[in-house]
A and B are shown apart, each in its own frame.
Chain A
């Protein structure tokens, strides 16, 4: 079974703090994704990566950056957290680009106060 893990289930940070969200997958998948989920808005893609050290902007990249130094690990960075970044963050991976299903991690609920 594919396993996607995220470093924290719940996180509370203060405005202006730098925040790191970590995601690890154990199935040698090429693609990894970061989404945020907000009520009524579904899942919105922040960034994705199709290879080590490669990254592409999704639909809402502003205020975020990512890092993929190893194939199994994809990090989401909030350079200076703001209250409007309070959300559920979901990491996902897929075998490769194209018509492949995505496997999601359990999510991190981030609250910025």
Chain B
């Protein structure tokens, strides 16, 4: 079946360092969504990418969708303690018409 894998599973960084999480799908996606879940909270939608090669920015966060629409990345520049949480990608698969969530990357930021 369709799978969406994320790496790394965990990442610990010093405040001010950059962070990147990668999302890879076994099949082509029609879109990719990114969500953030704070500790003890629920996933909250961040952004959606639809076009091949698309890049979007939200302040210190940069989101990319691969040319083949099978992978995506989220890069955070100069992390802050408020960035702590688990970041999930979720891809919508053409052939199953389902949104499949990735396994998530848990980010810890040390002050």
Contacts and interface: CB of A to CB of B under 8 A. Distances in A.
Contacts of A58: 98
A79 to B, nearest CB: 24
Given A40-B9, A42-B88, A43-B88, A102 B42 contact: no
Nearest to B98: A45
Greatest chain B CB density within 10 A among A90, A97, A102 is at: A102
Interface stretch (B11-19, B43-51, B60-68, B75-83): B43-51
Contacts of A59: 1
Q: Majority SS of interface residues in chain B? A: strand
Interface stretch (A11-19, A70-78, A104-112): A104-112
Contact of B42 (A40, A41, A45, A107): A107
Interface residues of B, number: 25
B44 A104 contact: yes
A103 B45 contact: yes
Contact of A102 (B9, B99, B100): B99
Contacts of B42: 90, 104-107
Nearest to B104: A42
Contact of B33 (A101, A103, A105): A101
Interface string A63-99: 0000000000000000000000000001010000111
A41 B86 CA distance: 12
Nearest to A106: B42
Given A90-B42, A106-B42, A101 B48 contact: yes
A42 B102 contact: yes
Contacts of A101: 33, 45, 48
Q: Enumerate the 7 nearest inter-chain pairs by beta-carbon distance, A residue then B residue, closest first.
A: A101-B45, A43-B101, A104-B42, A42-B103, A42-B101, A104-B43, A42-B104
Interface of A: 35, 40-45, 58-59, 90, 92, 97-99, 101-107
